[in-house]
Amino acid sequence: QSDEAWREVDAYFADTLVPEDRALREARESGGLTTMPQAEVAPNQGKLLAMLCRIAGAARVLEFGTLAGYSTVWLARAVGDGGHVTSLELEERNAGIARENLRRAGVADRVDVIVGPAADSARRLIEEGGEPYDFVFIDADKPGNPAYLAASLELTQPGSVIVIDNVVRNGAVTDPASPDERVQGVRRVLADIAHDARLEATALQTVGSKGWDGFVVIRRSR
């Protein structure tokens, strides 16, 4: 099947099941103003993140990679009034666009966007020793995945859920000799998950408006 058919089915699912209000639509469209246009999750994926949060009963969410805050809006709405989202973003430009989108979506009061390399920001969060996070979405630079998983394990608790995006990379993930650092970042984090007895996980391939990709869902059991 073609990319065109995948896109049509995604559009049909989104039209049928995933209505976006104006704030979500504008957040998605403003991705074009960021340093990485089109890199946000698709609407049906954003809603999946929100539903996983709700199913897990998550009140505190950590996100690696904010971009324009499209996924952040989904997550912030999922945690509800009493919840909180911390989102880590390298680029000040993207963080500014995201903050504006979060304000328009009515969730600015429950989200902190922290600017800087996510590994540094996460280290500071660990040092601060705040309440553990219930749900983590890892979606920043892919070579950083192993470090982001390690930090997430310092910042979560048994029962927490961790989702890692973009683990298929058009099928390149199966190539152990890939020279692409992003592929190696995915392969390393998958190996780390497999060798960590605290973690149960599965990975799914997806096709759709974002092409051929996929994600890992992890539950921390202890």
Query: Among residues 18, 41, 122, 147, which is the contact residue for ligand SAM, using CB under 6 A?
Result: 41
Report the alpha-carbon distance of residue 205 to residue 185 in Å, rounded.
17
Task: Give residues 110-169 in contact with ligand SAM (rule: CB under 6 A).
Answer: 117-118, 139-141, 144
Other C-beta atoms closer than 10 Å to the C-beta of 158 total: 10
Report the alpha-carbon distance of residue 73 to residue 57 in Å, rounded.
17
Site membership for ligand SAM, residue 91 (CB under 6 A)? yes
- Pattern 47-66, ligand SAM, x by CB under 6 A: ------------------xx
Site membership for ligand SAM, residue 102 (CB under 6 A)? no
* Continuous segment of H or E residues that includes residue 103: helix 92-104
Report the alpha-carbon distance of residue 192 to residue 42 in Å, rounded.
27
> Least distance in Å: CB of 166 to ligand SAM?
7
Q: Looking at beta carbons only, is 67 or 85 nearer to ligand SAM?
A: 67
The set of residues, in sequence order, having a beta carbon less than 8 Å from that of 201 and lying 6+ positions away, is: 193, 194, 216, 217, 218, 219
Query: Among residues 53, 61, 67, 163, which is the contact residue for ligand SAM, using CB under 6 A?
Result: 67
Report the alpha-carbon distance of residue 198 to residue 95 in Å, rounded.
33
- Pattern 164-193, ligand SAM, x by CB under 6 A: ------------------------------
Binding site for ligand SAM (CB under 6 A): 35-36, 39-41, 65-67, 70-71, 88-91, 94, 117-118, 139-141, 144
